[in-house]
Amino acid sequence: MVYIQQLFEQFFGTEWGPMLFVLTKDLTLIVAIVVPLLLGVAYLTFAERKIIAYMQIRVGPNRVTFFGIPWLRGWGQPIADAVKAMMKEIVVPSGANKFLFILAPILTIAPALAAWAVVPFSPDVVLADINAGLLYILAMTSMGIYGVIIAGWASNSKYAFLGAMRSAAQVVSYELAMGFALVCVLMMSASLNLGDIVNGQQGGSLLNWYFIPLFPMFLVYFISGVAETNRAPFDVAEGESEIVAGFHVDYSGMAFTVFFLAEYANMILVATLTSLLFLGGWLPPIDVAPFNMIPGFIWLLLKIAFMLFFFLWFRATFPRYRYDQIMRLGWKVFIPLTLVWIFLLGAIMQLPLSIRNMYPLNLWF
Amino acid sequence: MSFQDLVFYFFATVLVISALGVITSRNPVYSALLLVLSFVTCAGLWLLLEAEFLAITLVLVYVGAVMVLFLFVVMMLDINLDRLREGFWKWFPFGALLALILVTQMAMVLMGGEFGLNEMPRPPAQAADYSNTKALGLLIYTEYVYAFELAAVILLVAMVAAIALTLRHRADKRSPNPAKQVAVNREDRIRIVPMASEKKD
């Protein structure tokens, strides 16, 4: 790495060399994050179809394979879907605002990918190790809503517009509950840096992870995450049975696929954050011989996969919420619950040290 | 020119152009979106000033919540430009006064040397592990705690007032109670009647 930096300095001079080196290094790292992420998204769609199929006693995609290998049947499906989407025409409705119509999917995917900049994958593997990491993620995820609103408005269609309005109200409501749930995590870890939050959960076993003292917050955060990504049972923004497909009714081909990619990238992001904040990130469940020999990255991947399974399970299990029920859950159940928990947590943190050192409080405080 | 200057001029150009676009654009939706763009570029400028907490909060609060609701309202309005222009001359003196104040302020900043800007030294650059967030939190909850709480109470009053102003109790309104609906049991709604199967003729 030092050698490459020197090469840059020789080539571009001492003033521009280091800057261009950092730029090149970051761009390489960004590609190293985004490419596996998009592959993960592709195979998450496959996993979703397969898992939901088995839950409904069907088989799911079982035709497309690589080089005719029989035991890989179905595994080529995401690739085939991607190629099909790229070949399709992007139809722009005649009354639509063409510029915003094309801009909307880009505005949806950009924050979904940008949020990954501060996500740590192992103790030292992180693109931008910034102090305000969690705040940055909240800011990025809250920007994802613009794509949906603009898509709904630019399509010049009533169904799309209704979908956009529903989505805007829903996301803004659940962001509050999500933020308050995260405040509890911040109080426990006393840091906004994601790496420090995971390190705060260290201590021998899974009993130290934050999902035990913050169990209601864990549920609130994850359910709000499902609502933020507009997934079933909170998918009123799409609502096939009422408003056709919501905000992306008029999108086709790659423009539609980009919305799709953003939704799945956001799902993976919520699952990753839940694993990092509540399930101890890369820490092994028990810090003894066979478990702590597995690299932390594998543990993180397993936890992400575990949380992602819930997204798919929810979709196969629950009927869609009615709009007023969604609002009630967000405002009248989650927000009071989080406020009570913040108060409780604050009270426990003010207890004298001798009480906080007693079991089980000494595991977390 | 260093790399940082390049980033600054890029953000500054985008900010000025988008801010001009906010007031010149004829489509209110474009105006709102350009305002979002200027908030985001402004956050970029604040990052260059090492105010990362404020920059991210600007994006989180104004871009992520306030402007979404703004856009929400603007998109549903039926804007009639002629009606908007009606009061132009009536409000012109007020607007002109505001513009004059702004121009004076800008002049004072741009000609800072004349107004003693040099007496105020540039703050020293902070170390990489300096936490802006922590510093702000310490100030807010110790030195400025009364001002901070006062601001919070004013916001709360505004919130309660907004709800109180729009809340109407109508006698002819029927509204469902979702809490009751969610808590309903299967036994309350359906009755399973055992029936012998029909014989095939």
Which ipTM score applies to this complex?
0.82
Mean pLDDT of chain A: 85
- Give the H/E segment covering residue A85: helix A77-87
Residue pair A98/A110 in contact (Cβ under 8 Å)? The answer is no
Which two structure tokens, joined as six digits, stand for A344?
Answer: 């409780």
Spell out the residues 6+ positions from residue B75 whose beta carbon is closer than 8 angstroms to its own.
Answer: A149, A153, A161, A164, B29
Of B72, B76, B182, Cβ closest to residue A325: B182
**Contact across the interface for A145 and B33, Cβ inside 8 Å:** no
* A19–chain B Cβ distance below 8 A for any pair: yes
Contacts of B56 in chain A (CB under 8 A): 132, 135-136, 139
Q: What are A217-270's pLDDT values in tens digits?
A: 999 999 999 988 888 788 877 777 777 777 888 888 888 889 888 889 999 999
Looking at every residue in chain B, the average pLDDT score rounds to 84
A135 vs B56: CB contact, 8 Å cut-off?
Answer: yes
The set of residues, in sequence order, having a beta carbon less than 8 Å from that of B131 and lying 6+ positions away, is: A131
pLDDT on residue B151: 94
* Structure tokens given for A196: 């420090």
Is B63 within 8 Å of A138 when comparing Cβ atoms?
no
Exposure string over B45-58, b if 16+ CB within 10 A, otherwise e? bbbeeebbbbbbbb
What gap in Å lies between CA A340 and CA A357, rounded to an integer?
A: 23
Q: Between these two residues, A41 and A355, which has the higher pLDDT value?
A: A41
One-letter amino acid of A125 = V
Least confident of A173-182, B28-37, B67-76: B67-76
Are A160 and A250 in contact by the 8 Å Cβ rule? The answer is yes
Amino acid at A195: G
Would you call A362 an interface residue with chain B, using a CB distance cutoff of 8 Å? no
DSSP code of residue A279:
S
Total-model pTM: 0.86
- Residues facing A286 on adjacent strands: A205
Please give the pLDDT value at position A313.
92
A172 reaches B (C-beta below 8 A)? yes
CB-closest option in A143, A322, A328 to B59: A143
Q: Which residue of A has its CA nearest to B134?
A: A191
How close A22 gets to chain B, by Cα (Å)? 11
* pLDDT at A160 exceeding the cut of 80: yes
Contacts of A16 in chain B (CB under 8 A): 3
Which residues, in sequence order, are CB contacts of A216 under 8 Å at separation 6+? A337, A341
Sequence-distant (6+) residues with CB within 8 A of A237 are A148, A163, A164, A166, A167, A170, A230, A246, A247
Cβ contacts from A onto B, under 8 A? 76
Residue A230 backbone zone (phi > 0: left; psi -120 to 50: alpha; other: beta): left
User: Which of the 8 DSSP states describes residue A205?
Assistant: B
What span, in angstroms and rounded, lies between the C-alpha atoms of A11 and A159?
56
pLDDT digits (tens, 9 = 90+) for A98-132: 888 888 999 899 998 999 988 888 887 778 788 78
- What does the pLDDT read at residue B11? 92
Instruction: Give the model's confidence band at B82: pLDDT under 50 very low, under 70 low, under 90 confident, else very high.
Output: low
User: With an 8 Å Cβ cutoff, are A139 and B29 in contact?
Assistant: no
CA A148 and chain centroid, separation: 17
- Report yes or no: A106 at the B interface, CB cutoff 8 Å: no
**Gap between the Cα atoms of B73 and B65, Å rounded:** 13
Answer yes or no: is pLDDT of B128 > 80: no
| Whether B68 contacts chain A with CB within 8 A | yes
Spell out which residues of chain B touch residue A168, defining contact as CB-CB under 8 Å.
Answer: 68-69, 71-72
The token pair at B192 is 């399973």
| pLDDT of B156 above 90 | yes
- Using 50, 70 and 90 to split pLDDT, how confident is the model at B103? very high
Q: Give the CA distances from residue A272 to residues A74, A120, A196, in Å, rounded to whole numbers and listed in that order.
A: 26, 10, 15
Tens-digit pLDDT profile for residues A47-98: 999 999 999 999 888 888 888 788 888 888 888 888 998 888 888 888 888 8
Judged by CB atoms closer than 8 Å, whether chains meet at B56 and A150 is answered as: no
B39: nearest CA partner in chain A? A143
Q: How far is CA B16 from CA B10, B20, B29, B40, B163, in A?
A: 10, 6, 18, 12, 37
Q: Look up residue B112 and give its two tokens.
A: 């800072």
- Average pLDDT, stretch B101-130? 77
Q: Report CA-CA distances (Å) from B40 to A110, B17, B35.
A: 14, 13, 9
- Whether the CB-CB separation of A365 and A348 falls below 8 Å is answered with yes
Query: 3-class secondary structure for chain B?
Result: CCHHHHHHHHHHHHHHHHHHHHHHCCCHHHHHHHHHHHHHHHHHHHHHCCCHHHHHHHHHHHHHHHHHHHHHHHHHCCCCHHHHHCCHHHHHHHHHHHHHHHHHHHHHHHCHHHHCHHHCCCCCCCCCCCCHHHHHHHHHHCCCHHHHHHHHHHHHHHHHHHHHHHCCCCCCCCCCCHHHHHCCCHHHHCCCCCCCCCCCC
Q: Is A319 on the interface with B (CB under 8 A)?
A: no
Q: Is A216 exposed, middle or buried (0-12, 13-18, 19+ CB in 10 A)?
A: middle
- The verdict on whether omega for the bond into residue A360 sits within 30 degrees of 0, i.e. cis, is yes
